[in-house]
Structure 1
Amino acid sequence: MLLKFTVGNFKSIHEKVSVSFIGESLKQYPENLAEGPNGKKILKALAFYGPNASGKSNVVKALEFMRNFVLDSNRLYQPGQLIDIDPFRLSTLSKNAPSFFEIEFSVNSQTFRYGFEVDRESVRKEWLFFVMKTTEESYFERIEENIDLNNRFREGWNKKDFFRNNSLFLSTVAQLNGQISKGIYDWFSNLTIISDSNYLRFQNYTADLYRNKKIKGYLKRLFKTAGFDVDDFEVSEMDVSNQQLSILNDEIQRIIKLQVPNQLKVLTKHYVYDSSGLMVDAVSFDLREESSGTQKFFAIAGPIVNSLMNGFPLVIDELDARLHPILTSFLVKLFCSEENSSEGQLLFVNHLTNLMNQGILRRDQIVLVSKERRSGTRLKTLHEQGVRSDASFEKDYLSGEYGALPQTLMNQLNIFSNIEKD
């Protein structure tokens, strides 16, 4: 369960900003809350709104960087290799300063606060705290390559010689089978982040889930409930060696096939009916022949079902891209409903303002994203803005009352009138 994420000095984000799933004391829509650790009420969904280039996607990218660095820093970064980090560049104070990442989350009924500071050359700081109801206990704190270990984190003992200055201590201990750190590592691996540029990569993931008899039923029901005109799917393995590797020799083909997961071919099945309405046949189409909306929904359907079944956080940038507004609304309602009983969470970036006034989202679930020249990206919920529960969220937002809108100059549309001709 994701409780809070904080990032600073990353891309368009200069000063620290936080994304919090901890619900406020509001009376509206109690079904939108899940039972969290230490008696906290946790939001099942958060929506990001704001103009283009405000930094919505950069918050998602920051969470993705943290996830990938936890999972890969110990494996990918060799001694002396520079870290691929992009700090805020529009200030002399930040361009050479470390970037800050911290996350609070619950795993295996325990709550942790974990974070690190990193620049191009190394991990400057790293820390892990065990969070109780009113206090915290340090498991370890790192400054450069010096680590202060608590007795409760004994799995970190005798591991100080195994990590590098450009890798995380937590990841190193997890790779060496530390129980606590492995649980945290697995939590990050179950955090799924989807963008509009990479969603097609998840088609193979959904197709693989579809081969599981139990999950197949959930996926078919999701498609039917969402209103897609697809009667079934057929999933089969593609022979990578024959289709893509035929120009290579047998030994190279063998090595690549061991390292590359099986690619799955997906066909959509449609029934054929006669003039009296009786089903007489079925026709199959390659998924690539279907609409881009169908392809996207198939790709994200697997991660959606996985999140709802297992309580894993799911982040989708540009959720509304290629999907009908009613379908986008359906997915948000699904996460906020009592159907979501496993504590699945959805963080999504969206431009469909009609969601604001559909009685789906609470004021603490609508996050307005704006950008200021000096402080960079800023986040503030409608609740933090002091918006009343009976306000017309969409109307007031589009009128500019809340900010976080594109600043177009509608009264200066003479774009071409003063252009000098050669």
Structure 2
Amino acid sequence: MLLSFRFANHRSFRDEQQLNLTPAYRSGDEPEPAVRVVGIFGANASGKSNCLHALSFMRRLVLSSDREVEPGLGIVREPFRLTTDSLEEPSHYVVDLNLNGVRHTYGFAVDNDGVAEEWLYHYPRKRRRRVFERTRDSYAWGEDTGQRILLERIAEVTASTALFLSTVARFGHGPPAATDEPPHGVYRWFRDIYGRENPGLRPTNALGLDWPDSGPSRRVVVELLRAADVGIVDVVASTSVPLDEPPWPPPSSVIRSSMHTRLRQASERALRKRLRFAHQGPAGEVLFELAEESTGTQQLLGLAIEAAEVLSSGGTMCVDEIDASLHPLLTAKLVGLFQSVASNPRHSQLIFTSHDAALLGTIDTEEILRRDEIWFTEKDADGASTLYPLTDFKPRKDGENRQRRYLNGNYGAVPDLSTYLFEQALAARRQVDDEATS
């Protein structure tokens, strides 16, 4: 699970920021090490989406820098562009993780030339142990690092523009113990991040949906659809083969056995779930195709399927502008699924951005988001974004109308609307119209 995320010099963020998921208010005999839900609120262009983009950028480099980045061409990054110094300074990204009860800290700094620094520490018995430290192409290893000889050989073939963590993951096919080493555990955490920067279905056709195989995951999807009151009472999934799929098996006189095997594997991968949606009518249930459902229902379905997968398998789900897909009551329902120990036994996490101040309020006197689950972004006069938590304002547990206080600007992170500029713009438009008709 994610304990904190720090980053600097990325898009609208110039200085280092920290999204800290450590609970500010601990309760119980064994308090959880991290909150399960974080909501980030702020005005348009204040940096909400850029915060998620920074984590997405870090994930992309971890998973693919050894393949996508060409040596000698540098790293394509997005530093803060409003000062000339930032264009040359490195961008920093650091995560603190709890993996199987052990804290891990992994981070790197990249500039226009490549990887400037990279490091990984873990804390067995709560004492820091170095796994590796890297400065450009120079490495230092921890004394107790397992598989050290293998790691040294991998470091020799790691490009200056590739992360060592990304490269070492490609060589994780040794003894079983090798995959339990810190590099592979951290890599798997990044692999299990589910990101939705643009609300909607991916892909948009019924044959491409990854319908959950497990019963509990399917129940989560159907429960969210029913809670949405979109008229769907059930989902019927059947296996279908695309019409353009070649007949099977192919003639043996045309295709050799090796090609025969590859085509068979491709054919099996081509099998997709065809989803149809049951609506209750006066004469009974009627099945509808996905294309016949509204755009909002399709967006909800895509989000529900991913949420069910994350809750089932564990991981971190990041959703940008969650209010573009869900009604506030549905968002509250989804938040509740992640907050609940019963529906989220694997401690999956949900990080989302939103403009919807209703999510700062209550439903049936119950808070949708707890005090340490709320964060804000704001942009200063220099165009640099800042990320800060609601806990900075020491909010009271009960009796504080956070929705109203947010809209009144007590927490900042709201747009500075100028009535005068709006009136001037309308007056100028009327003048143009009058001149055009005269």
Secondary structure at 2:325's aligned position in 1?
coil
Residues 376 and 85 of structure 1: CA distance in aligned 2, closer, same or farther (over 3 Å)? same
Distance 2:361 2:350 in 1: 19
The one of 289, 292, 300 equivalent to 2:292 is 289
Alpha-carbon contact 2:200-2:298 (below 8 Å) kept: no
Q: What does residue 224 of structure 1 align with?
A: 226
Alignment correspondent of 1:379: 387
Q: Map 1:26-41; keep pairs closer than 5 Å.
A: 35-36=31-32, 40=33
* Conservation of the 8 A alpha-carbon contact between 1:71 and 1:185: yes
Offset at residue 260 of structure 1 (A): 8.1
Matched, 1:342 2:357: no
Deviation at 1:98, TM superposition (A): 1.2
Counterpart of 2:160 in structure 1 is 165
Q: Output aligned runs, 1:65-144, within 5 Å.
A: 65-132=57-124, 135-144=127-136
Alignment CA distance shift 1:266-1:396 (3 Å): same
Aligned partners of 1:14 and 1:375 also within 8 Å: no
Q: Which residues of 2 match residues 16-415 of structure 1 at below 5 A?
A: 16-25=16-25, 35-36=31-32, 40=33, 42-132=34-124, 135-155=127-147, 156-177=151-172, 178-179=178-179, 180=181, 181-197=183-199, 199-201=201-203, 207-213=209-215, 215-230=217-232, 231-239=234-242, 241-242=244-245, 264-274=273-283, 279=284, 282-339=285-342, 340-358=344-362, 359-374=367-382, 376-389=384-397, 390-412=399-421, 413-415=423-425
Q: 1:152 is paired with a residue of what secondary structure? A: coil
Aligned position for 2:250:
none
- CA distance change for structure 1 residues 110 and 203 in 2, over 3 Å: closer, same or farther? farther
How far did residue 128 of structure 1 move?
Answer: 0.2
Partner of 2:12: 12
- List per-residue Cα deviations over 1:207-238 (Å, max 9, x = no partner): 43434455334433443345442222334344
Give the Å deviation of 1:411. Answer: 4.3
Measured after TM superposition, the shift of residue 408 of structure 1 is: 0.8
The alpha carbon displacement at 1:410 in A equals 2.3
1:206 offset after TM fit, Å? 8.9
Q: Could you tell me whether the CA contact under 8 Å between 1:268 and 1:287 is conserved in 2?
A: yes
Question: What RMSD, in angstroms, separates the aligned Cα atoms of the two structures?
Answer: 3.0
Query: Computing the radius of gyration over CA atoms, which structure comes out larger, 1 or 2?
Result: 2
What is the letter of the counterpart of residue 152 of structure 2?
W
Q: CA deviation at 1:116?
A: 0.4
Structure 1 contact 354–394 (Cα < 8 Å) conserved: yes
The 8 Å contact of residues 52 and 320 in structure 2, kept in 1 or not, is answered as yes
Once residues 56 and 213 of structure 2 are traced to their aligned partners in structure 1, the CA distance between those partners, rounded to angstroms, is 28
Query: Whole-Å Cα distance in 2 between the matches of residues 73 and 208 of structure 1?
Result: 27
Secondary structure of 2:153's aligned partner: coil
- Contact between 2:199 and 2:322, CA under 8 Å: does it hold in 1? no
Assess, with a 3 A threshold, how the Cα gap between structure 1 residues 128 and 7 changes in structure 2: closer, same or farther.
same
SS of match in other structure, 1:128: strand
Matching residue's letter, 1:377: S
CA distance in 2, matches of 1:262, 1:373: 54
Larger helix percent = 2
Distance of 1:13 and 1:203 partners within structure 2 = 37
Deviations 1:94-127 (A, max 9, x none): 1111110000112233221000001232011000
Paired amino acid for 2:218: K
Distance (Å, rounded) in 1 between the aligned partners of 2:223 and 2:7:
38
Instruction: Give ranges in structure 1 of 5+ residues lacking alignment.
Output: 244-249
Give 1:261 shift: 6.1
Say which is worse superposed, 100-109 or 231-240, in terms of deviation.
Answer: 231-240
1:95 to 1:349, Cα distance in 2 relative to 1, 3 A: same
Structure 1 234/131 Cα, relative in aligned 2: closer, same or farther at 3 Å?
same
Contact 1:234 1:269 in 2 (8 A): no
Distance 1:406 1:119, change over 3 A: same
CA distance in 1, matches of 2:24, 2:417: 34
Contact map agreement 1:10 1:86 (CA 8 A) in 2: yes
Q: Secondary structure at the match of 1:66?
A: helix
Please say if residues 207 and 235 of structure 1, whose CA atoms lie closer than 8 Å, have aligned partners that are also in contact: no
| Alpha carbons of structure 1 residues 329 and 213: separation in structure 2 relative to 1, 3 Å | closer
The gaps in structure 2 that reach 5 residues or longer are 173-177, 247-254
Question: Per the alignment, in what secondary structure is the counterpart of residue 384 of structure 1?
Answer: helix
Separation of aligned partners in 2, 1:115 and 1:258: 41
Q: How many residues align?
A: 401
